[in-house]
């Protein structure tokens, strides 16, 4: 019997590939920062400005009159686009599910979903503003597209993961296509679906505060102009309101999930 000594290196042998990978990453980071023109001096100056901002933020100013209408408009945009987007996403996701549909149909639906997802809502908002003018409608259109993309993709994936055996039995009873979906598919994806919708509504709420920057309604526009006016205390107020709105949204979501769970 060979009594070979076991050395530390046998268990913790550093992987050559990992080392090279980490080194490459390090080199890349330095290179990328260099292309951005970051110098010590620039950084220091920036920090100086940053300090000025922070000083300007305190105390935050909530009193200007257009903060509430702006917030409410953002909320409206978020709610309506989540509703319309989800309603549209459901049939698209069912059509995109490869286990339920023939390849030709599912590919078309997936293309629709990919298209909706590829573009940032702000980009779609720009186009929407051109089409329907400034205001909340452009924002709703933009976020509806992004909702269809988001919920559609996740729902299609959830449908593709269900057990087909349960569906087979329902089909064997002579149930129509819709009845099969209702009894076979829906129970299996319902919980996850509610999670997606909750996340999507939260996402839309956040994004609705942003599309205003390009004129698509909501508090984003107010924020942008306040910033350009150097009204930093107002900016701070708006931001705190946005954070508050998102936190309330999160809180409500957990309530809804509890009411529907199980």
Partner 1 sequence: MSTLSIQNLVKAYVPGKPVLRDISLDVEGSGITAVIGPSGTGKSTLIRCINRLVDPTSGIMMFEGADLAKLSGAPLRAARRRIGMVFQEYNLVERLSVMENVLSGRLGYVSTWTAWRRKFDEADIQKAFALLQRVGLADFANRRADALSGGQRQRVGIARAVMQSPGLLLADEPTSSLDPKTSVEIMELMRDLAAENNIPVIINIHQVELAKRYAQRVIGMSGGLVVYDGAPSGLSGEVLQKIYGGEDWLAT
Partner 2 sequence: MNSATQELQRWVRFTPQQRLGRFGVYLGVVAAILWALKTIEIIPEFLYDAPEQVVDMGKRMWPIDWAHFWPVVWPALVETMHIAALATLLGLCMGIPVGFLAARNATPIPWVNAIARFILVATRSISTLIWALFFVAMFGPGALAGALAIAFHSIGFIGKMFSEGVEESNRGSIEALQAAGATRMQQIVMGYWPQVQPTFWSVALFRWDINVRESAVLGLVGAGGIGMALNAAIDLIQWDRVALILFTIFCIVIVIEAIVTQIRKRVI
- Integer Cα distance of 65 and 90 in angstroms: 39
Task: Report the alpha-carbon distance of residue 116 to residue 162 in Å, rounded.
Answer: 24
Segment near partner 1 (CB under 8 A), from 70-78, 143-151, 163-171, 253-261?
163-171
The torsion of the CA quartet 172, 176, 177, 181, rounded to 10 degrees, works out to -80
Structure tokens at 97: 């599910």
Closer residue to partner 1 in complex, CB, 161/250: 161
CB of 85 to partner 2, least distance (A): 13
Contact criterion met (CB below 8 Å) for 123 and 98: no
CB nearer to partner 1: give 57 or 183.
183
Looking up tokens 């300007």 gives: 56
Length of the chain, please?
Answer: 262
As measured in angstroms, the least distance from the Cβ of 127 to partner 2 is 7
**Packed helices 103-118 and 136-160: angle between N→C axes, nearest 10 degrees:** 140
* Minimum separation from the CB atom of position 89 to partner 1 (A): 18
Report the alpha-carbon distance of residue 156 to residue 174 in Å, rounded: 25
Binds partner 2 (CB under 8 A): choice among 72, 108, 169, 190 = 72
Q: What is the closest distance, in whole angstroms, from the C-beta atom of residue 1 to partner 2 in the complex? A: 32
Interface stretch with partner 1, choices 34-42, 176-184, 192-200, 224-232 (CB under 8 A): 176-184
| Sign of the four-CA dihedral 225, 229, 232, 233 | negative
Q: How far is the CB of 102 from partner 2 (least distance, A)?
A: 22
Q: Pick between residue 175 and residue 239 the one whose CB is nearest to partner 1.
A: 175
Of partner 1, partner 2, none, which one does residue 190 interact with (CB within 5 to 8 Å by kind)?
Answer: partner 1
Distance CA 96, CA 90 (A): 10
Binding to partner 1 by residue 87, rule CB under 8 A? Answer: no
27: partner contacted, choices partner 1, partner 2, none (Cβ within 5-8 A by kind): none
Touching partner 2, residues 126-145 (CB under 8 A): 126-127, 130-133, 135-137, 140
Contact 182, 122 (CB under 8 A): no
Q: Does 107 bind partner 2 (CB under 8 A)?
A: no
Of 83-91, 97-105, 180-188, 199-207, which segment contacts partner 1 by CB under 8 A? 180-188
- Which one of residues 1, 36, 44, 172 is an interface residue with partner 1 (CB under 8 A)? 172
Residue 17 vs residues 12, 14, 189, 195: alpha-carbon distances, Å: 14, 9, 41, 39
């Amino acid at each position: 019997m060979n009594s070979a000594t076991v050395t530390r290196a046998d268990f913790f042998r550093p992987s050559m590939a990992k080392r090279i990978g980490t080194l490459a990453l390090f080199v890349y980071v330095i290179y990328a920062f260099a292309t951005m023109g970051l110098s010590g001096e620039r950084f220091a100056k920036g920090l100086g400005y940053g300090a000025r901002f922070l000083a300007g933020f305190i105390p935050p100013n909530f009193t200007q009159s257009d903060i509430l209408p702006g917030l409410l408009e953002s909320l409206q945009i978020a709610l309506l686009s989540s509703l319309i987007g989800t309603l549209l996403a459901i049939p698209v996701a069912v059509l995109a599910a490869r286990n339920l549909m023939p390849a030709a149909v599912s590919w078309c639906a997936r293309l629709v979903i990919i298209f909706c997802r590829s573009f940032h809502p702000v980009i779609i908002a720009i186009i929407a503003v051109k089409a329907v003018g400034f205001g909340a409608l452009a924002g709703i259109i933009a976020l509806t597209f992004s909702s269809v993309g988001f919920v559609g993709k996740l729902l299609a994936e959830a449908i593709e993961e269900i057990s087909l055996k349960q569906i087979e039995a329902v089909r064997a009873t002579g149930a129509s296509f819709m009845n099969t979906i209702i009894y076979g598919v829906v129970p299996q994806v319902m919980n996850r679906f509610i999670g997606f919708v909750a996340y999507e509504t939260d996402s839309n709420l956040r994004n609705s505060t942003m599309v205003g920057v390009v004129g698509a309604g909501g508090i984003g526009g107010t924020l942008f102009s306040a910033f350009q006016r150097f009204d930093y205390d107002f900016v701070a107020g708006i931001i705190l309101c946005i954070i508050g709105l998102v936190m309330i949204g999160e809180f409500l979501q957990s309530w809804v999930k509890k009411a529907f769970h199980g």
